[in-house]
Amino acid sequence: MSNRPIYLDAHATTPVDPMVLEAMLPYFTQHFGNAASKTHQYGWEAEAAVKQARECLAAAIHAEPEEIVFTSGATEANNLAIKGVAESYFTKGRHIITVATEHNAVLDPCGYLRSLGFELTILPVQPDGLISLDDLEKAIRPDTILVSVMAANNEIGVLQPIAEIGQICRSHGVIFHTDAAQAIGKIPLDVQAMQIDLMSLTAHKIYGPKGIGALYVRRRDPRVNLAAQLHGGGHERGMRSGTLYTPQIVGFAKAVEMGLEEMKDEANRLRGLRDHLLRQLQTVGGIHLNGHPTQRLPGNLNICVEGVDGQALLLGLQPAVAVSSGSACSSAKVAPSHVLKALGRSDELAYASLRFGLGRYTTGKEIDRAADVAIATIQALRQGKS
């Protein structure tokens, strides 16, 4: 393992924690029943495991178990939330508000709805990545049915003022959805205090398995109605048909449970490592921090580097350090990050960006080594060396 790159791409995905895997394994072979099979022990065992996991996830965000709808991940949860609201409330209005720095799993469904005749307002962000609450309030119209603002940005780690956004939406009677894929298990989330109506979650950003996520759907004060996007069996209270993937669900809950237990201490540890990495990188000059300096995920560091070619920078870090230049979903694209462009970065700087995602297994020695490699690469590129 020592010859493998230092992994600093935890916003793309994380390894399954051994304790999470241990919790999952019996449900592949021993307790393999279908949770919808109500007539025998195998089904009862699976149903009990799903119920317990649902209770765990609900408690983590201060919701009710019945308000948790399991999905294949945050992308499906976002689609269910956005399209589901659009179909259910189109007689009330056809105006949706979102933000320029959202993940494509939000922007693309919103764009699809616009092609069907819905009106879309995309709010800009300030240079630090935060939205203006005044801009949001001014954008809300009598026909606005949904506001979608992510809790923690997947590229720059910025934490939006979710509670304040929730209060504005509630005061105007508008449904509030937040993509919390990067936030769950890393920062406190409370759907009651933050007045969140819909929240998308996923497991693989917090040492759980890929292929499982959830959508919180408020049942009261106000009750949110969603039109199903998958039909065939009426699972998950009719909102998401399909046989429940019990091992993944068990793993999801275990990952969230572990994340909550260590959240405070881990946040402090990651924040210290991240700030140390930034200080080291800044010694070469021409380093621009992307996003708010403190109102961001503890393990996120996103920078632009002056005077280097972006592709050469990424290649120069290989094979010593595994990082990305933005969202894993769009890392193969040639276009500069839409998030960094929204911050006002030039194309040149946006291309020359690095996203460091520190995680549970990141050590101080790895940070020092990564800093050394990055500094040497930057200096070599600026001097015109290969």
Which amino acids are annotated catalytic?
Answer: 329
Q: Are 354 and 322 in contact (CB under 8 A)?
A: no
Q: Residue for token digits 């009677």?
A: 173
Q: In angstroms, what CA-CA distances link 276 with 30, 269, 366? A: 46, 11, 12
Angle at 222 between CA 216 and CA 224, to 5 degrees: 50
Among residues 181, 177, 206, which one has the least CA distance to residue 194?
177
Q: How far apart (Å, rounded) are the C-alpha atoms in residues 255 and 242?
A: 23
Residue 241: phi and psi, rounded to 5, are: -75, 150
Q: How far apart (Å, rounded) are the C-alpha atoms in residues 164 and 141?
A: 18
Among residues 105, 97, 113, which one has the least CA distance to residue 149?
97
Q: Are 131 and 104 in contact (CB under 8 A)?
A: no
Q: How far apart (Å, rounded) are the C-alpha atoms in residues 171 and 237?
A: 28
Q: How far apart (Å, rounded) are the C-alpha atoms in residues 37 and 56?
A: 22
Going by DSSP bridges, is the β-strand pair 300-305/353-357 parallel, antiparallel, or unpaired? Answer: antiparallel
- Joined together, the tokens standing for residue 113 give 């709805």
Q: How far apart (Å, rounded) are the C-alpha atoms in residues 144 and 170?
A: 12
Q: How far apart (Å, rounded) are the C-alpha atoms in residues 120 and 146?
A: 10
Angle at 90 between CA 88 and CA 91, to 5 degrees: 105
Q: Are 174 and 144 in contact (CB under 8 A)?
A: yes
